Amino acid sequence: MIWNDGLKIGVPLIDSEHKELCGRIDNLLAACSAGQGRAEIAQTVAFLQEYTVKHFSDEEKLQRSSGYPKCAEHKAMHEYFKAKVADLKASLEENGANVANVSETNYFLMNWLLNHIQKVDKELATYIKD
């Protein structure tokens, strides 16, 4: 289970969206362990692509409304994630899901999300609360 309360940043809307994202990645990892990764991955990636549009825009709105000084920097990281997911999706479509692109996708999703929440989103939350 990726999600734990230590990942909460203290903004309920953002926390619930992060929990949803972590849950989807959990499902994908569980499917991979059960040998169903190749069947599950296209759906997970499509879901994430759609859901992160809303999620990132919610975070960016929060940044603008609080006058957060690192908006542009934070947005650039969101754009990086979107571009990388689009690349992974293209590889999955072009080559079919295989061990290499499934593990690359799992690794990227889990790592990026955990790092981003713990460092960048928590920094934003600290700014908002101060």
| Binding region for Fe ion (CB under 5 A) | 59, 121
Nearest by Cα to 35 from 109, 97, 110: 97
18 versus 89: smaller Cβ distance to Fe ion? 18
Neighbours of 33 (CB within 10 A): 9
CA gap 130, 103 in Å, rounded: 40
- Residue 121 DSSP symbol: I
We find the least distance from the C-beta atom of residue 35 to Fe ion, in angstroms, to be: 33
89 versus 116: smaller Cβ distance to Fe ion? 116
What are phi and psi for residue 3, nearest 5 degrees?
Answer: -70, 135
15 versus 121: smaller Cβ distance to Fe ion? 121
We find the least distance from the C-beta atom of residue 31 to Fe ion, in angstroms, to be: 26
We find the least distance from the C-beta atom of residue 98 to Fe ion, in angstroms, to be: 30
